[in-house]
Amino acid sequence: MAKIRFVLNKSNIRRDGTCPVCLRITQNGRLKYIDLGLSATVEQWNAETERFKKDRRVVSNYENYNALLNHYEERKDGILRKFAQERAEWTIERFEEEFVGASKRGKVYDFWMRLVDDLMATGHIGNAKVYARDLHLFCLYDSKAKQRLFSDIDVKYINRLNHAMELNGCCGNTRMHTLKTLRAVINKAIKEKEASSATYPFGKGGFEVGKLAEETEKRYLPLKELKLIKTTPQQNMVLERARRLFLFSYYCFGMSFVDMAHLTNQNIVMLSTGLHIVYKRQKIKNAKNTKPIQIPVTNEIRELLEWFKSNIPPMGNYLLPIITKNYDGVELYDHVRTRYKRINMNMKKLGKELGIRLPLTTYVSRHSMAMTLQENSMPREVISQALGHKNLTTTNVYLDSFKTEVLDNAARVL
């Protein structure tokens, strides 16, 4: 025969003299306490009624506490009725799963954490880390984040959260990315019936996340400095490797460092028009309708690959000497990020050696490639395809704030 009661767990007295209020389950000689997130002293608790004492001198807000316990009582009775209808034996573990699982439904933090775990489990490590980072920020600016329900997240809440982040010095882009992640979490929760659309804070008439976007400085090299990098080999092997990786990115349509790191010999493909590097961008390779990027292996690219093979042979089947450990999963992800920081640091040293004021990175290489194509009157649709963007809007963000000489020249034609 099972017994379930609301009790103080007196075996766990805290420093302030209170004990956790728990649901105590005894069944077949076994005992289990489920912490309800409340606490009380012996003087504040009525063991007979299994509630807080109705005395404001002892417990100022006993009504709210007891209302919550009444809610838990209803949940407990509902679970027991469900077991009775099923006419099946139940265990303490099954009761706890039903009781605690019900308490987690509708909670933002628990649902968000589940998404992080799911992303990790399915190999979407980059997205998982982004979600985890933004969850950390969410908790940083909401002291009750772990108890927050989806029904609490309305337009007023988003405005307060955005204001708190702004007061703490978070730039518009940081706030935008965090709120975009929160929006994605809410959208998934609505789809899975964990949340209601009734209080949805975004969309038409809601908070406009896009308005937080701030223009970032576009970093590209003028033709003179690009030529300097192309024609100035380094005696220092570390700087020479950095120079050649910068140029490989540039000649490969501004390929990102992460995509460069993951290239293997299988990415070298013979097409009808000749030898190509064919790959999908790591960040969107699993997205629907993602098309591979095809880069013709020019003489410059061929020479770079041959130099790497002769001087710094890549590990295993990799095309470039970036990944140096036989890792996979999270370890591989972290290894590539560590290598990214180190090689970018060497690129900056190379820039100083050559007298280039702009700190060199593969990001600079990517933007320099896009600007070079634009200055040579290449249509933006072509530039967009070369960059691997899913739409022209992203490409326009890259190019619209670059130098104005292109428009100035166009005006002179009129």
| pLDDT, tens only, 46-89 | 999 999 999 988 888 888 888 889 988 998 998 899 888 888 78
Total residues belonging to the chain: 414
Query: Using 50, 70 and 90 to split pLDDT, how confident is the model at 411?
Result: very low
The pLDDT score that the predictor gives to residue 404 is 43
Query: Using 50, 70 and 90 to split pLDDT, how confident is the model at 2?
Result: confident
Q: Where are the domains of the chain?
A: 3-104, 108-212, 223-413
Q: How does DSSP classify residue 318?
A: B
Give the residue, 377 or 238, on which the prediction is more confident: 238
Residue 39 CB coordination number (10 Å): 20
Strand partners, 51: 46
Query: Using 50, 70 and 90 to split pLDDT, how confident is the model at 320?
Result: very high
pLDDT over 70 (residue 157) = yes
CA torsion sign for 140, 143, 148, 152 is negative
The first and second tokens of residue 370, run together, are: 């896009």
Rg (alpha carbons) of the chain, rounded to whole number = 30
The pLDDT score that the predictor gives to residue 149 is 86
C-alpha distances in Å from residue 69, one per residue of 57, 75, 149, 207 = 20, 10, 18, 35
Residue 338 to residue 330: CA distance in whole angstroms: 12
Which of 3.40.50.10540, 1.10.443.10, 3.20.20.70, 3.40.50.300 is the CATH number of 223-413?
1.10.443.10
pLDDT over 60 (residue 394) = no
Span 139-153, average pLDDT: 88
pLDDT over 50 (residue 269) = yes
Phi–psi pair at 81, nearest 5 degrees: -65, -40
Span 349-356, average pLDDT: 94
Residue 300 to residue 231: CA distance in whole angstroms: 12
CB 293 within 8 A of CB 278: yes
Cβ neighbours of residue 236 under 8 Å, at least 6 residues apart? none
pLDDT over 80 (residue 406) = no
Query: Using 50, 70 and 90 to split pLDDT, how confident is the model at 383?
Result: low
User: Which range, 100-104, 165-169, 293-297, has the best average confidence (pLDDT)?
Assistant: 165-169
Give the DSSP per-residue string, 240-294.
HHHHHHHHHHHHTTS--HHHHHT-BGGGEEEETTEEEEEE--TTTTTSTTPPPEE
- Counting residues of the chain whose pLDDT is more than 70, the rounded percentage is 88
pLDDT over 60 (residue 398) = no
Average pLDDT, the chain: 85
The pLDDT score that the predictor gives to residue 396 is 53
